[in-house]
Amino acid sequence: MSFISLLWVLLLGSLLGLELIGKVPPTLHTPLMSGANAISGITMLAALTLIVKAEGNVPLLIIGSVSLGFALFNVVGGFFVTDRMLAMFSRKPSNKK
Amino acid sequence: MNLPVIIKFVIDLLAVLLLALGIKGLSKVKSARDANRLAAFAMSLSVVGLLSYYLGTSGIAIQSWIWIIIGSILGSLFGAILAKKVPMTSMPETVALFNGCGGMSSLLVALGVAIFPISGGQENFDFFKSLINEVSISVSIFVGAITFTGSIVAMAKLQGWLSTPGWTQSKVRHFVNIVFAVASLIAFFDLINGNTSSIWLLVIVSSLLGIGVTLPIGGADMPVVISLLNSYSGIAAAAAGFVVDSQLLIVAGAMVGAAGLILTQVMCKGMNRSLVSVLFGGSLSTQSTASSGSGEYTNITSCSVEECALTLEAANKVIIVPGYGLAVAQAQHTLREVTKKLEQNGIEVVYAIHPVAGRMPGHMNVLLAEADVPYEQLKEMDVVNPDFPATDVVLVLGANDVVNPQAKNDSSSPLYGMPVLDVQEARTVFVIKRGMSAGYSGIKNDLFDLPNTSMVFGDAKKVLNDLIGELKDLGVGEK
């Protein structure tokens, strides 16, 4: 990938992000923040790349592994906690009727 | 193009699409839960895509697998345990912690890539060759470090482990932060010049900058800061994407970064604060106590729980205004019991939710939902405000600034212009509060002085428990 096309990817990704969230009801601010936060743990892919390409360099393997751990902590925890919050919203109306 | 490349291309594309749909869906109540799962699925898909690509091309060494498994298991395990165990009241600091770890991950990736091609010697990383890579590594480290230390400080402050040191409220802090910022700039240029050891300087000063910027910010503004740091962690991820040459990382990071900025802005609006004043204004209370907001209360009426119960029993319509204090006292379940009794007595009960009630926007909705309050009873501010004149009793529980009439009447007040709940329009207002201390803003609340307002002093949970007892004695809610 050339640097220029990566810049295009960055630009279009940012525009997409700006467009995605138009109106958010205040109710969803907290879950949305925590869900988006989980997605930012996508750096786990970078950590994986690092480990795969380390080619036996142990310090690099360790750095990659720690990085992967931090990223997955963010991802797994983030999605779980968001789900826990949202479960409370969706449960109510169905129970009452 | 060979097969693994095509497969990875397709999977990446699909993952980006699903992530975008996920973020979109998260902004609507109906679709939010499915959207969250969709995003989680997209993330796992992207991992499968990346691993299968390496399996199909260079292969993955056993040693790499071992470290992958160790890292994944530990990270996921701790993440899942924390997510299951943490009480709903401490949601803001939990999000901050997760967020900080995401930033740390980006930092470590960039650091790993930066150090080892040089000291390792024969490694065939060619990352450090071009200027572009040096820039993306620096950005990734800079933003990642700020995200990490900033989030940790935010978490510690919300947990009450850290208070706001006095010196951070003076002008000195701007000077200190500028020094840190300039130092990181120097480290950055030094790095580009080929002096790789300055990478450590960059790590250290950007970490300090994260602390220096977050430390002076008061508790009320913390949600905005967390949202902003969340946006940063997206930027850090995108920068890491440049470092390892991954389009998926760049798109996802950029999306989160941009969406986070929008969310930050929406939050600022709800709190009547500008982003600039949040970041550079320091905590609101120290400024305002000096200027306005002084002045003594002249006409405080305090009353007992018993009187409160008697008034409630005679009411037709009751509006509850829950606030931060309720969350701190963990009294939402007790509150639910009180309202159940009232409902059984045929009294109409509604909860008025201010946009920033709780410890962060939307947090109160989560807490009340946890206590089984029916979703339909939660009314947003604009919906409920016209109802106050026809309301017999308003119970204000641990809320303060969001019910201060100054925001409407007094143009000299720092609160002026903030959207508030018009509780003073109701016939009787009970304010349940520990004492006469001011709210976040440190400003006197004119509501307390009004003749139709009575204060019930005490811890929210204890008062509500007593209230249940009193209502029982009156035979409310028993058939």
The tens digit of pLDDT for each residue in B37-92 reads 999 999 999 999 999 998 888 888 888 899 999 999 999 999 999 999 988 878 88
Q: What is the DSSP string of B367-423?
A: HHHHTT--GGGEEEHHHHGGGGGG-SEEEEES--GGG-THHHH-TTSTTTT-----G
Give the best-scoring range by mean pLDDT among A19-28, B150-159, B216-225.
B150-159
Residue-level pLDDT at B63: 87
Residue among A15, A54, A72 whose CB faces B75 most closely: A72
Residue of higher predicted confidence among B3 and B271 = B3
Task: Point out which residues pair with B317 in neighbouring strands.
Answer: B348
**CB-CB contact of B139 with B166 (8 Å):** no
Judged by CB atoms within 8 Å, which residues 156-175 of B form the interface with A? Answer: none
Q: How far apart are CA B23 and CA A43, in angstroms?
A: 17
**Single-letter amino acid code for the residue at B443:** I
| pLDDT value of position B291 | 39
Looking at residue B293, its pLDDT comes to 45
Q: Does the structure show a pLDDT above 90 at B151?
A: yes
Report A:77-96 residues touching B (Cβ under 8 A): 77-93, 96
Residue A92 falls inside a structural domain: no
The parts of chain A modelled with pLDDT lower than 70 are 1, 90-97
Contact yes or no for B341/B476 (Cβ under 8 A): yes
What separation in angstroms does the CA of B350 have from each of A8, B57, B135, B375, B448? Answer: 50, 61, 55, 10, 22
Quick check: A88 and B369 CB within 8 A?
A: yes
| 3-class secondary-structure state, position B170 | coil
Q: How far apart are CA B97 and CA B247, in angstroms?
A: 26
- Report if residue A34 sits inside a domain: yes
Per-residue pLDDT at B285: 45
- Strand partners for B455: B302, B431
Among the listed residues B109, B111, B81, the one whose alpha carbon sits nearest the alpha carbon of residue B97: B81
Band of pLDDT at residue B123, cut at 50, 70 and 90: very low
Phi-psi group of A66: left, alpha or beta (phi > 0 → left; psi -120 to 50 → alpha; rest → beta)? alpha
| Domain-located, residue A33 | yes
Q: What is the pLDDT of residue B129?
A: 55
Residue A20 maps to a domain: no
Would residue A16 count as lying in a domain? Answer: no
Q: Give the list of residues 6+ apart from residue B385 with CB closer than 8 angstroms, or none.
A: B421, B422
Q: Using DSSP, how many helices (H) and how many strands (E) does chain B show?
A: 18, 6
The distance from CA B395 to its chain's CA centroid, rounded to whole angstroms, is 26
Three-class secondary structure of residue B31 per DSSP: coil
B442 pLDDT more than 80: no
Tokens (6 digits) for B92? 């803001």
Predicted pLDDT at A95: 42
Cβ atoms of residues A79 and B39 within 8 Å: yes
User: For all residues of chain B together, what is the average pLDDT?
Assistant: 83
Pairing status of strand B378-380 against strand B393-397: unpaired
DSSP secondary structure code for residue A68 in this structure: H
Marked catalytic residue, from B221, B401, B422, B446: B401
**pLDDT, tens digit, 9 for 90 and up, residues B352-375:** 888 777 667 777 887 888 788 887
B401 is catalytic: yes
In terms of average pLDDT, the best of B126-135, B250-259, B298-307, B335-344 is B250-259
Has residue B472 got a pLDDT over 50?
A: yes
Q: What average pLDDT does this structure show over B230-238?
A: 92
pLDDT computed for residue B311 by the predictor: 87
Give the sheet arrangement for strand B393-397, strand by strand: B378-380, B348-353, B317-322, B393-397, B428-433, B453-457
Could you tell me the CA-to-CA distances from B288 to A58, B413, B442, B443 in Å, in that order? 55, 9, 7, 7
Residue of A nearest to B242 (CA): A6
pLDDT of residue B298 exceeding 80, the answer is: no
Q: What is the pLDDT of residue A93?
A: 45
Q: Which domain holds residue A44?
A: 26-86
How far does chain B reach from its first CA to its final CA, in angstroms? Answer: 76
Is A66 inside any structural domain? yes
CB pairs under 8 A between A and B: 392
| Residue B131 confidence (pLDDT) above 80 | no
Model confidence at B414: pLDDT above 80:
no
CB contact under 8 A, B84 and A84: yes
What pLDDT is recorded for position B378?
84
**CA gap B454, B445 in Å, rounded:** 13
| pLDDT recorded at residue B375 | 78
The 10s digit of each residue's pLDDT in B165-215 is 766 667 777 888 888 999 999 988 888 877 878 889 999 999 999 998 888
Task: Report which secondary-structure segment, H or E, holds B319.
Answer: strand B317-322
Cα dihedral B157, B160, B162, B167 in deg (nearest 10):
80
Please report the pLDDT score of residue B290 as a whole number.
38
Query: Which token pair is B456?
Result: 């019930």
Domain assignment present for A39: yes
Question: How many domains is chain A partitioned into structurally?
Answer: 1
* Contact (CB<8Å) B64/A51: yes
Of B68, B132, B362, nearest to A27 by CB-CB distance is B362
Task: Sort out which chain A residues have CB atoms less than 8 A from B79's CB and list them.
Answer: 72-78, 80
Q: What pLDDT, on a 0 to 100 scale, did the predictor assign at position B121?
A: 39
DSSP state of B120: S
For residue A89, CA distances in Å to A94, B80, B296 come to 10, 21, 42
Residue A69 lies in a domain: yes
CB B22 within 8 A of CB A16: no
Contacts of B289 (CB under 8 A, 6+ apart): B442
